[in-house]
Amino acid sequence: MEMEMEMEMRAEEDIEIGEDITPPLTPLAFALHDSLLSSHCSSCFSLLPPHPFPPLHFTPTFPHNPHHVLSSSSYCSPLCSTSDSPLHVSSAELHLLHLLQSHPSTYPHGDSSDLRAALRLLHSLPAMGPSARIVGLLTNHHKFLHHDDHHRIRDGARAMFLARKMRDEAPNVCSDNSSSVSPDDAVLEEAALCLVLTNAVEVQDKTGRTLGISVYGPSFCWINHSCSPNACYRFLVSPPPPPPCSAEKTPLRIAPLGQGTQIESGVCSNNVFIKECGSYGPRVIVRSIKRIKKGEEVTVTYTDLLQPKAMRQSELWSRYRFICSCTRCSASPLTYVDQVLEEISAANFNSSSLSSDINFNRDKATQRLTNYIDDAIDDYLSIGDPESSSVRLEHVLTQGLSDKQSECEEETSQLTYWLHPLHHLSLNAYTTLASAYKIRATDLSALYSKMDDHLLNALDLSRTSTAYSLLLAGATHHLFRSESSLIVSVANFWSSAGESLLTLARSSVWSQFVQQDLPVSNPSSTGKYRCPNCSLADKFETDSFHGQVRYADFDYVSNEFVDCVNNFTQNVWNFLGLGCHYLRVVKNPIDFSWLGTIRYSSVGEDIVRSSGTEVASKCGAGRRISGSEAEGYNNQVRICLFKLGVHCLLYGGYLASICYGNSHLTRNVGKILDLEESIESLS
């Protein structure tokens, strides 16, 4: 993606929020990740059918094993196979895969998708020498050669060179002679690989799973980065429609700054790219997430916007070799969002007093907390121990992390560090806790079918998972109100919170506490569960089924949603936080005014004052629900949870429709109708 500010794309007309800015753009080059070659289509990246289509019949054999044909690509349809198979072979991508399979030491750096995309790019474009730009796209060749990762680039270029030589001279080439390839032999391959590393984007499916990488032409790659962007993009991962396509296409509503689209320094016009690329590969569409005036620069983000400034800057430099100077990064003092994303409190503890200490090494504290939380999350993601991960994360959220000194120092120098509830590490912890508790509940329910204490504990775990999911959505929404470019993350978190709330509300285990089921009289309507104080459900349902969502009243809709959700949350938050000390300290997951002056408050001190120094209780860790807790499991709470879930799911779909299109709101409305039918079936 573009990094030099002289190349930028500007709006050719006024663009409202939630509008497509480009038509579906086809890639210059693309490649699935190695691990997905056997499960996804190598052309469009969609899931393969039960009986996928192989490459065309001319796939070659190799001299080291002439009876073996390397199976390296599969396709979802004859169209994808016909369009991609020739390039798979002629670009030497197939030869590269054979080389890496037979001699892994040729490229000991893991996934080869960058190399394969670079080979495809080299073969598809006219012959040319290495330069600062190739077909208009920046290579950063000179910067990458001074990069810490330059060995990977050199090894990759050598492997590409050998693969292309195998293609041209297959019977006479030894595939393990990478040491004989000098840097001068593979200069063009190096430039192409650097271009891919600079400009490629990760292609994701609708669940957010990364499938592979893709490089697009200037219409996309000249869109610069901002940490407060006004646009986002989505991918179309499906077979392309057969020509001719009668569907109406969005025109290209952006153009480069300068003399039209034909720029010097080797840049081709957009029309040339469209002809060269054909119509296959994962397509990308750019969409506005803010109102954009005619002549205003269009920007997207290249990094995670829920990271603090220092982390964003480090990642952008490491990956793209530039220092961001957008309005958010240039703000002095830091923006409110960047302040709280890195806010840490510290306090001294001894036998006689508890005092705040603002003079401490923040870099050291951040690193210690980061290492601890990353390690705790790794317990879940890598080791597969969600309970250990939950206990450790809740311990650091509630009790902080002690700064154990290696030297003998005065007692008053013993510090304990706490994360601000809106710190980016806290948000990561909430994400993991919501998932870990959900997995623990699912695993426990799968082991026991009879209604007993185990299933009650499973409901307890599910309740805690829901609480963390709601806290994550509320916390990011609080930040979103100050930085609207966080809309993509907020949309996902509200949808997840809504699904979690609705799943909890319809659990059959409620029958142990509630004799009366949810009174669903008409499963085709959400009317029973609409808040009498707002018309969100009516508006969203009408808009979604008419295929047109109106965003002119975006601020009004958002404010109305927050008011309603806040009212519901006040009625169920104590119930959701039962048995979990950290959740009880969070007074309100929607309205964070309880934090006071956030920049100088010490949340850690509040936690300690309210809990002493006791270790946080293990939420739902195999304990029986007490009688006082069971009182919270009543029909009034259950219905309130359902209403809250409906609001969250609808609003999440509304925000997602701004980012991705109307189908996301329609899908969430459909989920609500399905859940209502499920609840009616419990009667």
| Last residue in a domain, options 330, 361, 391 | 330
Q: With 0-12 CB in 10 A as exposed, 13-18 as middle and 19+ as buried, what is 248?
A: exposed
Regarding whether 380 and 326 lie in a shared domain, the answer is no
Exposure on the CB side of residue 471, measured as CA atoms within 13 A: 30
- Mean pLDDT for the chain? 80
Q: Which candidate, 9, 547, 538, places its Cα nearest to that of 226?
A: 9
In the chain, the number of structural domains is: 3
Give the integer Cα–Cα distance in Å for 458 and 456.
5
Give the integer Cα–Cα distance in Å for 607 and 446.
36
Regarding whether 610 and 508 lie in a shared domain, the answer is yes
| Last residue in a domain, options 330, 365, 387 | 330
Does 243 map to a domain? no
Confidence of residue 612 (pLDDT cuts 50, 70, 90): very low
Does 596 map to a domain? yes
Q: Under a CB-based contact definition with an 8 Å cutoff, are residues 125 and 276 in contact? A: yes
Q: Under a CB-based contact definition with an 8 Å cutoff, are residues 346 and 365 in contact? A: yes
Regarding whether 261 and 154 lie in a shared domain, the answer is no
Does 338 map to a domain? no
DSSP H/E element including 9: strand 9-11
419: β partners: 344
Q: Which of 158-162, 206-210, 534-538 has the highest mean pLDDT?
A: 158-162
Tens digit of pLDDT for each residue in 556-580? 888 889 999 999 999 999 999 988 9
Tens digit of pLDDT for each residue in 297-339? 999 999 999 999 999 999 998 888 889 999 999 999 999 999 9
Confidence of residue 454 (pLDDT cuts 50, 70, 90): confident
483 contacts: CB under 8 Å, gap ≥ 6: 228, 305, 328, 335, 337
pLDDT at 550: 67
pLDDT at 513: 66
Regarding whether 426 and 560 lie in a shared domain, the answer is yes
pTM of the model: 0.85
User: 280 is in which domain, residue-wise?
Assistant: 1-25+225-232+252-330
Beta strands in 278-380 (DSSP E): 283-288, 299-300, 344-349, 354-356
Tens digit of pLDDT for each residue in 572-607? 999 999 889 899 889 999 999 888 644 333 445 554
Give the integer Cα–Cα distance in Å for 187 and 185.
6
Regarding whether 426 and 466 lie in a shared domain, the answer is yes
pLDDT at 537: 67
Give the CATH number of the domain where residue 16 resides.
2.170.270.10
Q: Which candidate, 529, 512, 455, places its Cα nearest to that of 630?
A: 512
Give the integer Cα–Cα distance in Å for 500 and 652.
13
Give the integer Cα–Cα distance in Å for 537 and 592.
25
Can you read off the two tokens belonging to residue 246?
């009668």
Does 567 map to a domain? yes
Does 594 map to a domain? yes
Q: With 0-12 CB in 10 A as exposed, 13-18 as middle and 19+ as buried, what is 244?
A: exposed
Regarding whether 51 and 7 lie in a shared domain, the answer is no
Q: Under a CB-based contact definition with an 8 Å cutoff, are residues 306 and 328 in contact? A: no
Regarding whether 469 and 362 lie in a shared domain, the answer is yes
Give the integer Cα–Cα distance in Å for 263 and 95.
35
Q: With 0-12 CB in 10 A as exposed, 13-18 as middle and 19+ as buried, what is 220?
A: buried
Does 418 map to a domain? yes
Range scoring the smallest mean pLDDT among 1-15, 114-128, 543-557, 640-654: 543-557
Regarding whether 349 and 312 lie in a shared domain, the answer is no
Regarding whether 377 and 321 lie in a shared domain, the answer is no
Tens digit of pLDDT for each residue in 270-308? 444 433 445 689 999 999 999 999 999 999 999 999 999
- Alpha-carbon 116 to chain mean position: 24
Regarding whether 271 and 167 lie in a shared domain, the answer is no
Regarding whether 18 and 35 lie in a shared domain, the answer is no
| Last residue in a domain, options 280, 303, 330 | 330
Regarding whether 356 and 313 lie in a shared domain, the answer is no
Does 671 map to a domain? yes
Does 215 map to a domain? no
